[in-house]
Structure 1
Amino acid sequence: MTEVQHENVPEAEVSPSDSPDVLPPRKRSRHRVLFGTLAAVVLLGGAGAGAWAVSTGALADSGQEAPRQQFATGHVVRGDLEESTSAVGTLRYEASRTIQAGVAGTVTGLPSPGTTASAGESLYSIDDVPVFLLGGERPAWRGFASGMDDGSDVQQLEEALSELGFFTGEPDEQFRWATTEAIMDWQESHGLDRTGELPFGSVVFADGDLRIGTATANVGDHVAAETELFQVSGTTQIVDVDLGLSDQQLAVLDTAVVVRLPGGEQTSGTIISVGTPTETESATGESTTVIPVVVALDNADAASAFQEASVTVDIPSQSREDVLSVPVGALLALTPDQFGVEVVDSDGSTRQVPVETGLFAGGRVEISGDDVSEGTEVVVPSR
C-alpha cells in the first residue's frame, strides 16, 4: 500500500473570510475532487454556492443588503513535495546470536538478561572458571599459547589486549614474549593464575558491547561443549523491512526514510543494507519474493523504549522541489480534461482559474498556471 507524505511544506491555514463572495446571478456548481492512490474520482457537489448567489440576487432586486458569505480559504504555498511508499518492518537489536559453552562442565555463572557486557568483563563461568569478553570480529577457533602458529587471530588478541592497556607493542600475527607477558598481566588483574596462556573456550570475541538476551541454560546445569547458554545481540537497534519486487527500485543504499514507531512517535533513519531477492512463505503457505532491507535509526535513543516492535517505514518514491501546491480539496474539475482552483480576489470576489497538476502528496497537489503564484488565496471547501 502506498501512502503519500508531504515534507517541508507548511499546511495552508484555512480560515473563514469576512469578505462577501461576489458571484454572478446564475447558479454555479462546484466539482470537488477526491483522490485515491494514483487515481482521481470527480464528484459533483457544493450546490450551496449557487444557491447563495441566487438568494443574494433576489435580495439585491428587493433592495435589501445581502448577507456576507463565509467560506474557508487556504493559500498557494511554495516548497518541496514528497510522496512515499509505506512498508511494515520489525524493530530489533542487530547481530543476534547464541553464546555456546566453550568447554564441558557445570554452569556456575550466567549474566542477567537485559544487561550489557563490555570487553574485558566476565561473560559466564564453567566450573567456577570465568570466560571473558574481548574485542574482535573473528570468533576464537583455537587456544593461545607460546609456540602456536602465526595467524590473524593472534593479531586480534594483541589488539584486544592493547585496547585494555596490557599489550604495549605493535600488534602482529606472531605470538611473542610480549604477547605472553600481556596475557599474564591481564590474568593478574582479574585474580587469575599468571599462566600466559588462554585455552580454547576461555575468551569470547565480539565487535562491541553485547546486550544479554534470554538464557537457555541455568546455573547448575552440567553442559557439554557447544551447548547453548544464552542469547546476545549488539546494542544498536535496526529495522528489517521486506520490500516487494514491485517496490525494489526504492531499495537504495543511504536513502533517508521515516520510521513510525508504536504510539504515534516517529524518527528518521537510513537504509544501510540491501539484500538479494529472497523467497519467503506466509502463514498460509503462499510463497513471495521480497528484497530484504535494513534501516539504521539516526537517533539511537528514539526507540529505546522498545526491545522489539512492528513499525512502519516510509520510503521516498517521488519528490518535487520548490513547487507551488494547494490542499487537494481546493482542486476543481472545470471540464473533464481541465482542473482549476477558485481564486479569492482582493475585493472578496472569487473566480475559477485553470491550473496544471503534478505530484499528489500528503494531502496537497502540485499546481502551476498563469493565474496562481505563491501566496494566492484559494477556496478550500470544509469537510
Structure 2
Amino acid sequence: MSRKWVLTGVAVLAVTATAGVLAYTWTATGPPSAGAGPAPAQTVAIVRADLSDTREVAGTLGYGAETPLKGHKAGTITWLPQVGGEIDRGKVLYKVDEQPVLALFGDTPLYRKLDTPGTKGKDVKVLEANLAALGYSPGTVDEEFTAATSAAVKKWQRANGVKETGAVDPGDVVVLQAKSRISAVKAQLGDPAEGELLSVTGTSTAVTVPLDPGQVSLAAKDAKVGVTLPTGKQVLGTVAQVGTSVQSGKGSDPNSSPKVTVTITLDEPGNFESAPVRVQFTTETHKGVLAVPITALVALREGGYAVQVRGGGLVAVKTGLFSQGRVEITGSGLVEGTQVVIAT
C-alpha cells in the first residue's frame, strides 16, 4: 500500500501578510491509477535576506506644510502675488502704498528697526548675510550693525526704488526660511497691510503625514520610507521634518484627535502636485536572516510550523518576522540554498 499527502485543512496566520499555511496528515490509499503519476512538487530555495516590518498610514502629496505670513507695515495693500508663484531672496513679496516689501532668507525675523551703528543681534546678521548674498557688501557679516551696513542698505534700497534711509524697519521685509511658493493669498487689494496676508510652502513637492503623538517614534528624521502614489507606483522618500508641536484636531468630527505633522521629500516626485498617498514607515528590521515564502510553512497538528525539504521530510522551524509575503525561519540543518516545498 502506498502513502501520499492529502490536504485536510488550512490554518490562518495572525499576521498582516495574507497567505495559506497548509496542514497535512498521512492517509492510506490504494495504488494510483495507471498513467496518472503524481505532479512534481514545486520548490524554492531558502534565501538570506533583510526583512522589515512596516506600518502604513495615509498622507497627502503637495508642497508641504503651509506657513502663514503676517504684514507688519501700516498702509494699504496695493499689489499681491499670484498663487503658485515662487519668491526668491530679494524679490517683492507684496506692496504697501506702492512700496515693495522684500523677501529675505534666515532663521530670525526682524523685530526692531535697524539703523544705529553698534546695534548687535542675530537679526543684524540675517540682514547682513542677505545684503552680501544680493551683492551689497556690508563688510564683515556678523551681528553688529555698522556704517558699512547702513551704506549697503542704501545701495539695496536704491536698486529697489525705495527711499534711501540706510535703515530697515521690520515691516520693510519678510524673513523666509528659503525660496518659497505662494500657496494662498488671503488679503485683497485695498485691505489694511497688517495681519495675515499670505501663506507659503516649499517649492518642491512633499508628503505631509498627520501622526498621533504616540506614533511619532515611527518617523526619525532622515529615515527612508516607502510611498505609494495614486498610480500604484512605489517610490522612496526621506523624512525631512518632524513637527515639534501638537496640533489640535479640526472640524466637528468627535473622533478627531491632536496630530503631529511629518514632512517627507520624495526621491522621485512624479507628475502629481496634489494627491492622497500611502506612506510605509519601517518599524523593525532583521538583517541577513533565512527567509522563505509564507506558503512554504506547514502548520503542525501538535502546534508550531515546519517546512518540507525536497527529497526529505518535515523540519520544524521557529518563525520570526513576517514581511511582504516572506517569513524569517530557523531550523535544524536549514541553510541558504536548501530547497523547500511550497503550496500551489
What's the TM-score once normalised by structure 1's chain length? 0.76
Contact conserved, 1:136 with 1:205, CA < 8 A, in 2? yes
- Give 1:46 deviation, angstroms: 7.6
| Corresponding residue to 1:297 among 242, 260, 265 | 265
Aligned residue number for residue 111 of structure 1: 81
**Alpha-carbon distance between aligned partners in 2 of 1:87 and 1:282, rounded to the nearest angstrom:** 20
Deviations 1:338-368 (Å, cap 9, x if unpaired)? 42122223xxxx6333222222221111122
**Alpha-carbon distance between aligned partners in 1 of 2:65 and 2:231, rounded to the nearest angstrom:** 26
Aligned residue number for residue 329 of structure 1: 295
**Alpha-carbon distance between aligned partners in 2 of 1:112 and 1:242, rounded to the nearest angstrom:** 32
- Change over 3 Å in CA distance of 1:118–1:283 after alignment to 2: same
- Give 1:209 deviation, angstroms: 0.7
**Alpha-carbon distance between aligned partners in 2 of 1:100 and 1:279, rounded to the nearest angstrom:** 22
Aligned residue number for residue 102 of structure 1: 72
Aligned AA (2:291): S
Q: Which has the larger radius of gyration?
A: 1
Q: Higher mean Cα deviation, 116-125 or 189-198?
A: 189-198
Deviations 1:276-312 (Å, cap 9, x if unpaired)? 777747854146566x36243252xx33644444332
Structure 1, unaligned stretches of length 5 or more?
Answer: 1-23
Aligned residue number for residue 12 of structure 1: none
2:14 pairs with 1:36: yes
1:153-192 superposed matches below 5 A: 153-192=123-162
Deviations 1:94-143 (Å, cap 9, x if unpaired)? 45222333334343321121121100111111222111111222222233
Aligned residue number for residue 167 of structure 2: 197
Contact conserved, 1:72 with 1:379, CA < 8 A, in 2? yes
- Change over 3 Å in CA distance of 1:91–1:379 after alignment to 2: same
**Alpha-carbon distance between aligned partners in 2 of 1:180 and 1:206, rounded to the nearest angstrom:** 22
- Give 1:37 deviation, angstroms: 2.7
2:37 pairs with 1:67: yes
Q: Higher mean Cα deviation, 248-257 or 83-92?
A: 248-257
What's the TM-score once normalised by structure 2's chain length? 0.83
- Give 1:253 deviation, angstroms: 4.6
- Give 1:328 deviation, angstroms: 0.8
Contact conserved, 1:256 with 1:271, CA < 8 A, in 2? no
Contact conserved, 1:141 with 1:200, CA < 8 A, in 2? yes
Q: Secondary structure at the match of 1:26?
A: strand
2:312 pairs with 1:312: no
**Alpha-carbon distance between aligned partners in 2 of 1:289 and 1:203, rounded to the nearest angstrom:** 34
Deviations 1:142-177 (Å, cap 9, x if unpaired)? 333346844332222111101112024112343322
Aligned residue number for residue 234 of structure 1: 202
**Alpha-carbon distance between aligned partners in 2 of 1:123 and 1:279, rounded to the nearest angstrom:** 30
Contact conserved, 2:17 with 2:323, CA < 8 A, in 1? no
Aligned residue number for residue 124 of structure 1: 94
Contact conserved, 1:105 with 1:126, CA < 8 A, in 2? yes
| Corresponding residue to 1:273 among 231, 242, 250 | 242
1:15-94 superposed matches below 5 A: 25-30=2-7, 32-37=10-15, 54=29, 57-59=31-33, 64-67=34-37, 69-94=39-64
Aligned AA (2:284): Q
**Alpha-carbon distance between aligned partners in 2 of 1:249 and 1:115, rounded to the nearest angstrom:** 35
| Corresponding residue to 2:322 among 355, 360, 363 | 360
Q: How many aligned positions are there?
A: 341
Contact conserved, 1:131 with 1:202, CA < 8 A, in 2? yes
Aligned AA (2:83): P
Q: Secondary structure at the match of 2:343?
A: coil
Aligned AA (2:88): S
**Alpha-carbon distance between aligned partners in 1 of 2:169 and 2:239, rounded to the nearest angstrom:** 42
**Alpha-carbon distance between aligned partners in 1 of 2:145 and 2:219, rounded to the nearest angstrom:** 45
Q: Secondary structure at the match of 1:28?
A: strand
Contact conserved, 1:84 with 1:318, CA < 8 A, in 2? yes
- Change over 3 Å in CA distance of 1:255–1:193 after alignment to 2: closer
Deviations 1:303-330 (Å, cap 9, x if unpaired)? 3644444332222223222111111111
- Change over 3 Å in CA distance of 1:65–1:101 after alignment to 2: closer
Q: Secondary structure at the match of 2:13?
A: strand
Contact conserved, 1:33 with 1:40, CA < 8 A, in 2? no
**Alpha-carbon distance between aligned partners in 2 of 1:277 and 1:216, rounded to the nearest angstrom:** 24
Aligned AA (1:242): L
**Alpha-carbon distance between aligned partners in 2 of 1:280 and 1:216, rounded to the nearest angstrom:** 23
- Give 1:374 deviation, angstroms: 1.8
Q: Higher mean Cα deviation, 28-37 or 371-380?
A: 28-37
Q: Secondary structure at the match of 2:37?
A: coil
